[in-house]
Every structure is written in structure tokens, then in C-alpha cells.
Structure 1
Amino acid sequence: MVSLTFMLAIYFTFIINIPILSELNSILSKLDNVKVGFIISLPIFFTAAFNFLFNLFSWPYITRPFFILLLVVSSVVSYAMYNYGVIFDYGMIENVFETDSSEASSYLSAYSVFWTATMGVLPAFIVSLVKFKPVTRPIWFVVTKLLSMIISLIIIAIIAFFLYKDYSSVGRNNSHLKKMIIPTHYIYSAVKYINNTYFSEPIEYQQIGLDAHQSEKALKDAEEKPTLFVFVLGETARSHNYEVNGYNRPTNQHTRDLGMISFKDVSSCGTATAVSVPCMFSALPKSNYDKQIATNQDNFLDIMKRAGISLLWKENDGGDKGVARHIPLKEIARNVENQFCNGSTCYDMALLENFEQDVDNMPGNRMLTIHLIGSHGPTYFQRYPESKRFFTPDCPRSDIENCTTEQIVNTYDNTILYTDYVLSETVSKLKKLESRYNTALLYISDHGESLGENGMYLHGAPYSLAPEHQTKVPMMVWASEGFKKAKRLNTSCLAQAAEKNSYSQDNIFHSMLGIMDVETQVYNADMDIFSQCRRS
């Protein structure tokens, strides 16, 4: 059993931890002077550390199932980290636990299955065949185990004594390295998430904005011509790839002539949907956002509902992350096959079916939220139909790391262009309703995406380490003439602010309450993107 533990420690060092070894190689190759002893010590240090830790879990009856599970899960983590640059910190674990089956299946490919099978399943199968000798002398078994652990600690101590300065320097200058060690960091993050989610003491739900009500003018306008506001929540769209924000490709050819205002500098609250969406809808700013508090507190939808605004959420991205739990919600049935759905996923145009009927069923001033699947990867090619395949050659596969950079960017840009088409069609529907409603639309993405820059793909990187591609998101506003008149909104002023000022998803809570004329003490006009451009 002690021998198996040592062999597994070696396997995890040289095979499972290929991502961190590759990262270390990249870091050390850029340094002017690196001790040969430091380089040689790295695999020895990892092997000793893993040997010590693995011995803690290497006992009769639990050794086999523990390491079988550890090998399979670690191979999956290794695949994602090496091929996509994904780091499995707390935020990523949260995202994994909250991913639905349809979204999870999009990551499957022949390459990912082969990687997991050869690096995880095969060695796990070998472990299942290992025959352990019966422990006839328990004391000798424990002594042998302790001796192995003590030798490991001695090796670690010797390395620390002679090379502490080198380890400290590299570690402090590259703090993300500790988050790349498999399996220690993802297990730590998973245990922390499970504890916080299922075993922590529940927080009492807090209602805020109990004084919320619509302004007298808003209520009076609703009697003759109600407000119809469409809030479009995007998915995985990065500002960098928007033509209206300076990108050199026609990714906004459907909306660029509609008079939409694009906000050039908008930051997300997180780099994954599980963080950004609840944060965006809550009253908590990113600086002190706490999901537990946000989950157990009213968001701006709850406050709008209290003020008497009609609300509806239409879902095509696998879940509202709890923000629409108190309002009507319609989820697109992705298990059907029609012009928009293939039995597992649907194009976002499906969200506009029965649009007029949905609006008619909502009395008074109303807000419709539609949650797009947008540019969710890695199966970007499934986000747009063949007729909207504008940029070619694209990458019609989920293992995007095996496509060229040109193909990946083309496929991603097609998703941005298709979202632009959906937005233009939404505006078209709103224009047809202008005689009955004062109509407007706001579009914002939850987070961005990496497309291979610096070896990173997808999203979910720790915010402090995430590139701007993952944290800068598009935000666009369109308003009808009737809406601008009713809200006394100066769009020239708004366009100027959108060009010059920096905003974040912290502004959404207050901006939505403000533009819908909800009066409450929790509203802060200074955080409202519209307030400075509305005449009193």
C-alpha cells in the first residue's frame, strides 16, 4: 500500500500535473538566472509532498475507491487546465456545480474523452486490479507508513533549507501557481464550496426596498401608454469583439444603423455566470459582494415586483442563477427539434417566439428579461445556424484547442454577429409595438471570454488574474422616441457618457430601478447610468 502511494505520487507529479510543469517551464525560461538545483528539486518536492498527503488517505478499505475517484476527477481537471488555461479555484468550482447537463455535454469531444481515458480511467482501472497484502501486523504497517511520511517531510525540509529563497521568489511573483496544483487546490475549493452551500448556517432572508413604489407620472403614463422595457442578458460576449467598440470586423452589422448606444468601457462583476448574474442583479457592489448574502436578499427584480411592475424572465442559458425565483419564468424547451432547437440546445431566436403574446399578458408598466446562450463555448458553432455562418473558416467542434486561432475567432465572431441579429430582431418587434408602448432595450453580457490569448481559453479565471477579455463586456441601449419623451431621456447626453465614462455591472441595479421610475431609499442616482441625462 505504501509502494502504491509512492507510485501515485510520482504519477501525479509527472503526468497529472503537466499543466503546472508546463507553466513553471514557461516562467523559468524567462528568468535570467535559474539554479540547476532549483529546477531538479521541483519534481522531487512535488513527489515528496504528494507522497505525504496521499499516505494520509491510504488505509485498508478506502485506498482503492479514494484513488480511483481521485485519478478520474484529476484527469478531467488536468485536461481543462492544460488545454484551456482554466484554474479550478472557488469560483470555477461554483460554476461547475451550477452547470446544467446540456452545458456540461458541450465540453465533450473525442480528444477530451481520450485524455481522460488514458490519464484517468486507465490508471484507475490498474489501481482497481492491484491486490493488497492483508495487514497482518498493524503496528508494522503504521510504522512503515509513518517512515514514508517522515522521509517525505525531511526531503521537503532539506529543499526548503537550501532553496527557500528561490521557491519564495517564484511563488510570490506567480501567486496563481498554488491554484494549479492538482489535486490539492481543486479539492480545497470543492470542500469550501460544499461547506458554504450545504453545511453553513443559513442566513435569514432580508427584504430591501420595502418602500418601493412607482412614481405618479409612471403610473399615469401606464394608463395611456405603458413602458415596455426589454432587458437582454447576454452570455460570454466580450467587448473587444464588438465592431461598435472599435473591433475591425463587421460584428454589429445588424444593429449599427438602429441608433443603439454602445458603452465602451464596462466591467463585469465576475468571470463566470454563477458570480456575475447574481452580483449584477443584487444591491451589493463587486467590492463586497457575497453570494450567500445576495441569494438571501431582494434584487432589483424583487423590488420592481413590489412596486407593481409586471415582470417575465425567458431563459435559454440553463438557469437564472436564482435571481428570477420570485417572478414568472419561462424556459425554452431544448429537448425538442424545430427550426431553432436540435434536441439539446436552441438558438436564441427561440426566445422571441410568442413575444407579442407574452407582452400582452403583462399588465401596466412591464419589463421582459431574456437570457441568451449567446457565445457560450466551447461549442461556439452551435450558437448560430448555417445561414448565419458569416466568418469562415470556422471551428465546428468542441475541442477548440485543436482548431487554428483563425477558426476559433471566426466561430466566436459568428456568435457575436448572431447575437447582434437577435438584438436587431428584438428591436424590430419593439418598433412594431411603439404605438401601444413606450419601448426600450438594454443589452449587457455577464462576462467575457479568452480565445487563446496567452494560452487561455473560455472564462472563469480568478478575477485578479483574468485578462480584460474576460472582464470587459458589451453594454448597449436602444430607446424609441416615445420612451425618450416619456422618460425625458436625452440620448445625445447618454451617448457622450457611454463614450467617455467607465461603468460596471454595479450600475445595473440602480439604473434599472431608475429608468423604470421606481422610487425607494435603496436607489442611488449616482450609480444610475441614465439619471444624469434625464430632465427633471
Structure 2
Amino acid sequence: MFLRPSSFRLNPVQLTWVAALFFTTVGNISLWQTLWLQIEFCSIDQVLFFISLPVSLFCCINLFLTPLMILPYLRKPLLVVLVIISAGCTYFMLRYDILIDRNMVQSLFAGATAAKLILSFSMPLALSLFFLGVLPAAAIIYIPTKKPGSLSDTLFWWLSHILVTLTLFAAILLALYKDYASLLRDNRHIKDQVVPFNIVRNTHSYLEQKSGVKPHSLRAVAKRASRVVMLSGAKSAR
């Protein structure tokens, strides 16, 4: 009559929804604190705009996690790493009111911030890592998933997932485009508060720039350039 826990299994798309729901709610406490202070609830339009925010964030994180969750054997380990790192970033954003931007990532890779992280380790940080990182990560590992089915079923689930997410996200943007444009224009720092998007984006930007910058020897440029003197004043005087 009742389903046993062993019979409850999620396919990869449903696991993506669970992960996106976590990052939309508990995983982005710092973001919601900022949004709560930025939005004024003076009209029904602003209330509807605030209600649409978690839906649009859920859609964005859904699309962001989709390439990761397609990988059959790496989805859970990589997701666990993102959850634990996001927990630490959330603590520092709430505790020290900082942003996880490119400069912060560069300092971390350079080793300047690593010593500070060790010195700032405390009981609140440990509790944040446990409740926002270790427990959700353990739940992700414990959740049983289904084995990959046929290729047609897999394509149907993923294509439907992407299509529905894009349609819902596009509908929200079309209906509330001015509100979203105003929010992002006046609060450009918000993009560096959305975990795990800020971690992956700024890390990728730092690594890409570091690997792409190559030293070049000095060389002369514009050797064939010549200077042209205009005598328009003299001609007009004649």
C-alpha cells in the first residue's frame, strides 16, 4: 500500500529540480536578504514582482545546473562540492557583508585569503558549513536516482525540462521586463550574490584570463604613419 524508500527514485531531471529548489531558497539567504531590503511593497505590482523573483531564480539555476546534471557519474560529486563551497560563501557574505566577485576569487587562488579563512574559522562558520553544506550534501548523496533509461526517454525528459524552463522564464521577463531591468541596473552587485552562479562565473573568468594572458615583447607600431599639416587658415586668408 505504501511505497518503500527503496522504491522512491528520482531521475536526473527531478534531481536537478531538487538542487535548484535548494539554491533558490536556503542556499541564497544572502541574496534574499538584499532583495527584501531593496524592494518596496507599495503596490500590487511590486508584490507580484517579488513573488516572481523565486520563480525566475529557480528557472535560472535550473538552466545553470542542466549541463552539470547531464553528466551521469559526475553530477552528484560536483553538486556536493558546489553545495559545500556555497555554504562557506553564504556565511562570509552574511557575516562580513562581502561579495564573491572576481577579485575575491583571485585573492583566494593567490593564497592571500587562505590564511584569513583559517584564522576566521569559528563555531558559527562550522555550524553554517554543517547545516547549509554537509547536511544538504548528505541528502543529495542519499537520494536514490534511477538508472539511465532509453535514449528516447532521456532526450524527452531533458528537452521538456529545458523547453518548459525557458518558456516560463521568458514569460516572466516579458511581463515584468521593466521591473527586472530597473532592479539589475540599480543593483549591479546582485549578480555576485547568487550562489553558485557567482562562484563558477568568477572562477571561470579568473582562470580564463590567467591562461589567456601571454607575455609579448615590445615592438614598434605605426611605422608608416605620417603627419599631415592642414593649412586651411592660410588658404582662406588668401
Which TM-score tier does this pair reach, normalised by the shorter chain? 0.7 to 0.9
TM-score with structure 1 length normalisation? 0.37
| Secondary structure, counterpart of 1:56 in structure 2 | helix
From 11, 20, 38, the counterpart of 2:22: 11
Change (3 A) 1:69 1:134: same
Q: Does the 8 Å contact 2:39/2:46 carry over to 1?
A: no
- 1:201, 1:82 → 2: CA distance? 34
1 or 2 for the larger relative contact order (CA 8 Å, sep ≥6)?
Answer: 2
Is 2:158 aligned against 1:142? no
Is 2:145 aligned against 1:167? no
Q: CA deviation at 1:67?
A: 0.4
| Secondary structure, counterpart of 2:39 in structure 1 | helix
Q: Which residue of 2 aligns with 1:84?
A: 96
Residues 216-254 of structure 1: per-residue CA shift (max 9 Å, x gap): xxxxxxxxxxxxxxxxxxxxxxxxxxxxxxxxxxxxxxx
Q: Which residue of 2 aligns with 1:66?
A: 78
- 2:213, 2:107 → 1: CA distance? 22
Residues 15-64 of structure 1: per-residue CA shift (max 9 Å, x gap): 111111110100113x7545221011000111111112212211211111
Change (3 A) 1:95 1:122: same
Q: Does the 8 Å contact 1:17/1:181 carry over to 2?
A: yes
Change (3 A) 1:173 1:103: closer
Change (3 A) 1:56 1:102: closer
Q: Which residue of 2 aligns with 1:97?
A: 109
Structure with the higher strand share, 1 or 2: 1
Q: Does the 8 Å contact 1:52/1:148 carry over to 2?
A: no
Q: Which residue of 2 aligns with 1:124?
A: 137
Structure with the higher helix share, 1 or 2: 2
Q: Which residue of 1 aligns with 2:53?
A: 42
From 95, 114, 127, the counterpart of 1:114: 127
Q: CA deviation at 1:128?
A: 1.6
Change (3 A) 1:48 1:130: same
Query: Residue type of the partner of 1:190?
Result: T
Q: Does the 8 Å contact 2:28/2:90 carry over to 1?
A: yes
Query: Where does the alignment leave 5 or more consecutive residues of structure 2 unmatched?
Result: 1-11, 219-238
TM-score with structure 2 length normalisation? 0.80
**CA-atom RMSD, angstroms?**
1.7
- 2:116, 2:192 → 1: CA distance? 24
Q: Which residue of 2 aligns with 1:177?
A: 190
* Structure with bigger gyration radius: 1
Residues 68-98 of structure 1: per-residue CA shift (max 9 Å, x gap): 1110111111111122111011111111112
The aligned runs of 1:3-402 (5 Å cut-off) are 3-29=14-40, 32-33=42-43, 35-59=46-70, 60-99=72-111, 101-197=114-210, 199-204=211-216
- 1:154, 1:18 → 2: CA distance? 26
- 2:155, 2:81 → 1: CA distance? 24
Residues 125-145 of structure 1: per-residue CA shift (max 9 Å, x gap): 121222221113122112101
- 1:155, 1:44 → 2: CA distance? 9
Q: Does the 8 Å contact 2:102/2:202 carry over to 1?
A: yes
Overall identity of the aligned pairs, in %: 25
| Secondary structure, counterpart of 1:86 in structure 2 | coil
Q: Does the 8 Å contact 2:84/2:137 carry over to 1?
A: yes
Query: Residue type of the partner of 2:160?
Result: L
Q: CA deviation at 1:103?
A: 2.9
| Secondary structure, counterpart of 1:136 in structure 2 | coil
- 2:35, 2:215 → 1: CA distance? 42
Change (3 A) 1:102 1:50: closer
- 1:168, 1:102 → 2: CA distance? 39
Query: Residue type of the partner of 2:83?
Result: L
